[in-house]
Each structure stands twice: as structure tokens, then as C-alpha cells.
Structure 1
Amino acid sequence: MTPPPPASAEVTVRPCFGHTPPAPGLRAFVERYWWSEGGAGALPRLLPGTGAELWVHWAGGVALRAPDTTGAPTPLPGAHLVCLRRTAWRLDRHGGTGGFMAVRFRAGALRHLVPVGLDELADRVVDAEDLWGAAGRRLVDRVRTATGAADRIAALDGFLTGLLAEHRRPEAWLDAAVGRVYRRPAGLRIDRLAETAGVGERRLQRAFPAAVGAGPKEFQRLARFQRLARHLLREDRRDYLPAALAAGYYDQSHFVREFRRLTGERPGDVLGRGLSHFYYRPLPDGGQAGPLPTRKELP
């Protein structure tokens, strides 16, 4: 018989996850909805990157621990938005067993759903009620009183559809430019990007911070790091050098310096720990892939 763990040992209970695409009219802006329920133990770190997500909790909660302090973590609002990050964040659970829905936005899409520039939201956790007022408060109430995933998803569909009608912005060239940097950051020249977009380089430089939270060159560096980190974590690999070279890093020391600059740690201290739920394999633009549940299959 296997002896029980010592009383002081931390027991990790894995949460249950689900995924689904949003309503068809939102798929150009939202990559997926995903949710987590139950579980215990430490949450994985949120590494630096360009990604934006909205979390809405119906049970428990999450607290943010500053990376450079040992003080008590700060509890986050019941619904909060996380945007572009230049540092790694540590998250803790609080308030008992957790349950939340999350919206994963496509690169550059969040600008069509918020009343302010993304340069005002970068490196912050933003309360949904502070950003969207009564609509953000109603979303929290509906998610908390919902009877299941289908009802919560309907609440998100309605909320985001309303935001899109109110805040959708022009400049399709900017969406295309952001998408190109995000999908193929390795070796991309910003002056060539402006030429392809049909605008001057100065206009491109001015437009990027409000659209994504950083200038085009910094966005490119963060996107390269994020895409490589996601690949390495998803594949659970420590032999990172071939992938780093393919991603556009000059050599091993270049990647190690960049990794330490952004996370404060060496690659070997972070990689090889298995898949984090922040790094799911992307869904295609048209909807779901593989065994992910369809909207009709949701409880």
C-alpha cells in the first residue's frame, strides 16, 4: 500500500477545462472562450507577451503577486482584463475553489472593444467595471448567476457583440499590419511592414501603441518571445536552441539574454515543466479544432 503524503505536503488537484469558439460574428476578434473549474495548488506563471484576455469569475478568485516582492498578493476584481505584459506575473488562488470564464482575443482585436487606447492598459490588470461601466458589472452578475457553461457563453456573446457595435474602429490596414507582425515576427523589417501596409513608417510608429500597447519593434520582440515560449511549453521541451534559431534569435546567448530580460530567469528554470493552460494550441480562424467541444455539446 502506498503511504499517504506527509501532512505538510501540498496536494495539487487538477482543474477541469473547457473550450469553445465564440458566436460567428465575433470570430474575427475572439480566438476562443475557455473556462476552468475546481483545482487547487499554484497557478502557472503568466509570461510576458502580447496576448489579451478577459477573465470573469463565478467562484473563488485570483490574486496577483508582484514578481519583485515577497509581500501578500493583491486580489483581482471578479472580472478583469489582462493585456500586453513586459514582465512575468505570478498568480495565486484565493477565495476557495475557483471557477472562471476567459475570453482570448486575437492579436490586435481588443482595440475594437474598448473605449481607450491599449497603451493605457498595457502592464495592468483592469477592472471590467472601471473600463466598461454598468455593462461590465452586468456581465459579472450574469456569469455568477448562470446555470451552466452555455448560459455563461451566451452572456459573453451578448456583451462582446454590444462592445463591438459601440467601439469598432476603422483602419483595416492597421489590423493587417498587427496580424503580420504577430504571425511572422522573425526577420520582419518595420520599414517594409509600413510599405506593405501602404502608409509611412512614422504613421505606423504612431498608430501601434494605441492599437496593441507597444511600438511595432517592441511588439515584434514580445510576439517572437511569446510564440516561441508557447511552442516550447506546449511541446514540453528543454532543448530550446533549434526552435530559438528558427524563431529568429541569433544564437543561444541571444535567446538566454532575452529570456532573462523578460522573465528574470534562465530558460531551463521555466521550460520542461509541462503544458500551462495559458498556452493552448491555437484554434483556426473559422472555429474549433480537434476534440474541443462544440457549442451544441455544452451543458
Structure 2
Amino acid sequence: MKYQTYKPHTDLSAFIKCYWTLESPKEEKPQKQTIVPDGCMEMIFHYGDLYRQYIDKTKSIIQPRCFVFGQLSQSLEIEPMGTTGIFAVRFHPEGFIPFATIPIKTMENRAVPLTELFGEKGNEIAQKILTAPITNQRIILIETFLNEYLKNTNIINNIVKSVVETIITANGQLSIHEVSERQKINRRKLERSFASAIGLSPKQLSKTIRLQATLKLLLNKQFTSFTHLAYESEYYDQAHFIKDFKEFTGLTPKEFYGENLKLSALFYKD
């Protein structure tokens, strides 16, 4: 697998975390890959073969060729159906707000086709991205497209942006009471703002960011035991750690560590 990331133009850096590409030849025996929540929505363009997405143990769907995946509140299992060729935009947790044409909460755990979000304009940018020969051209195309939407939208709610930064800086280890106290904002108002702007509650985002920090330790093998991993991530105890971990990945830390982690290792390692 060849995975590369690219920085956005400064005009879009407040909204976009990075662009990334993934290329891989067809596998004789395709393996399922587990994607865990990271608090970021992504716009995906499959210029290679499509991916199968598992709904449960027995049901699956074929992902659209071009789509935006809403916030994940649970793990996602996918499987390549041939040669992988993906160009993607990874937004900051609050970064998709200016481009959303439907309520973000309704996109949770969904691959929403670009045509559903942007109509014929979505189809036009999809075709341009898919036929572009190199990544740099794809970046120019998508930045031109997204900048057009910025002209007619409001700036990201400063309160939401500030709270997201506080949660990320603390690796998700602050309680929502502590966050609301630091930001001097009523907790209910904070939760309402988050639900509409990000599609997750502050508590869900905090858990997600905390899990990401833990995954980096796990994937970089920076722990001596799972008890040590729970301690390093400042969970109350190991039982709390296992409960939160399983909520987002569907597996215990030990089970997850033994899974096929090729994509996780690419996406979440430093």
C-alpha cells in the first residue's frame, strides 16, 4: 500500500486537515479493514475500483464512487474489490460546516454521494477529479470547487472551533463540565452547537480524540501492557478503558491489536 498526505492551501487550512491518496494492487484474497472514528469527516473519490462496506456480519453494500463520509460513531469495516486508487479530503472536526448542504447529523455513519450534497455540481467535480491524471491537479480542482462554496457561507462558529481545539489539545481527557467551564459557555448551549455543527456531541468527540491518542501508542507499540496503555491514556481504570475502546472499535484492545491493521497503521501512526 502506498499512502501519502498533502497539505491544503492556507486559504483552506482552517477547514481541511490534509489531502491523502491511497494506492494498492489487487489482492488475491482481499481482507476486511477496520476503520475507527477519528472525529473527521472525509470526501472520498475512488478513481480505482470500489470498496465493499459491511453493515453487519452478513450484510454489505458497495460504496459510491464519490462521496462524503459523515462522522463515525462506531467502527467501519471495508474491503477492497480490486485495485485501490483513492483521493480524499480530510476535514478538521468542525471543517465541513461551510460546505454542508444537509444537516451534518443526518450524515452520521453514512457515505453520502456528492450528487446528494451538491446536485449536478457534485457530479461535475467528481468527473473532473476522476479523470485528472495526477494528484496535484486533483488538489487544484477540489480547492477551486470548495473555495466557491466558501464565498457564500458563514465563518465557522468561533465557540465551536475553540472548544474543538481545547478537546484536541487535552487529548480528549477533559470532562465536558471542565470544557464548558474553560470556555465559559453553558453546557446545553455547547451540546446544541456541536450537534448541528459537527454531528457529534462534545462527549463523543472527546472519547474519539482520546481513542486516537491511545491508538497511536498502540500502533507504535509504545506500551508494555494493556494496563499500562490504559494508565498512559488516563482512563479511570482498565475496565473503563476496555468499555470505551470496544464502543468505538467493536473489539477489545487485545482483539484489535491482533486484527489486520494495515489501514489503521497507515492512517493513525505518527
Q: TM-score, normalization: structure 1? A: 0.80
Match of 2:268 in 1: 279
Match of 1:56 in 2: 45
Q: CA deviation at 1:116?
A: 3.1
Q: CA deviation at 1:152?
A: 1.2
Q: Secondary structure at the match of 1:213?
A: coil
How many residues matched?
Answer: 264
Match of 2:22 among 36, 53, 67: 36
Match of 2:236 in 1: 250
Task: Report the Cα distance in structure 2 between the residues aligned to 1:196 and 1:45, rounded to whole angstroms.
Answer: 35
Match of 1:82 in 2: 69
- Conserved? CA contact 1:30–1:109, under 8 Å: yes
RMSD over equivalenced CA pairs, Å: 2.2
Task: Report the Cα distance in structure 1 between the residues aligned to 2:21 and 2:141, rounded to whole angstroms.
Answer: 14
Task: Report the Cα distance in structure 1 between the residues aligned to 2:94 and 2:214, rounded to whole angstroms.
Answer: 19
> CA 1:160/1:235 → structure 2, altered by over 3 Å: closer, same or farther?
farther
Q: CA deviation at 1:230?
A: 3.6
> Comparing 193-202 with 137-146, which one deviates more in the overlay?
193-202
Match of 1:9 in 2: none
> CA 1:159/1:237 → structure 2, altered by over 3 Å: closer, same or farther?
farther
> Comparing 159-168 with 54-63, which one deviates more in the overlay?
159-168
Q: Deviations over 1:93-123 (max 9, x none)?
A: 12x3121101111122111221233212112
- Conserved? CA contact 2:97–2:156, under 8 Å: no
Q: Secondary structure at the match of 1:70?
A: coil
Do residues 70 (structure 1) and 54 (structure 2) align? no
Letter in 2 for 1:154: I
Task: Report the Cα distance in structure 1 between the residues aligned to 2:179 and 2:222, rounded to whole angstroms.
Answer: 33
Match of 2:145 in 1: 159
Do residues 226 (structure 1) and 212 (structure 2) align? yes
- Conserved? CA contact 1:55–1:101, under 8 Å: yes
> Comparing 40-49 with 200-209, which one deviates more in the overlay?
40-49
Q: CA deviation at 1:56?
A: 0.6
Task: Report the Cα distance in structure 1 between the residues aligned to 2:4 and 2:249, rounded to whole angstroms.
Answer: 28
Do residues 172 (structure 1) and 172 (structure 2) align? no
Match of 2:103 in 1: 117
Task: Report the Cα distance in structure 1 between the residues aligned to 2:114 and 2:256, rounded to whole angstroms.
Answer: 31
Match of 1:259 in 2: 245
Letter in 2 for 1:144: L
Letter in 1 for 2:14: A
* 1:144-155 aligned within 5 A: 144-155=130-141
> CA 1:261/1:144 → structure 2, altered by over 3 Å: closer, same or farther?
closer
Q: Secondary structure at the match of 1:218?
A: helix
Letter in 1 for 2:150: L
Q: Give the number of the structure whose alpha-carbon radius of gyration is greater.
A: 1
Do residues 26 (structure 1) and 12 (structure 2) align? yes
Structure 1's unaligned 5+ residue stretches are 1-14, 282-299
Q: Deviations over 1:55-112 (max 9, x none)?
A: 111121112112x3223x2111111112221221110112x31211011111221112
Identity of aligned residues (%): 23
- Conserved? CA contact 1:57–1:140, under 8 Å: no
Q: CA deviation at 1:34?
A: 0.8
Do residues 208 (structure 1) and 194 (structure 2) align? yes
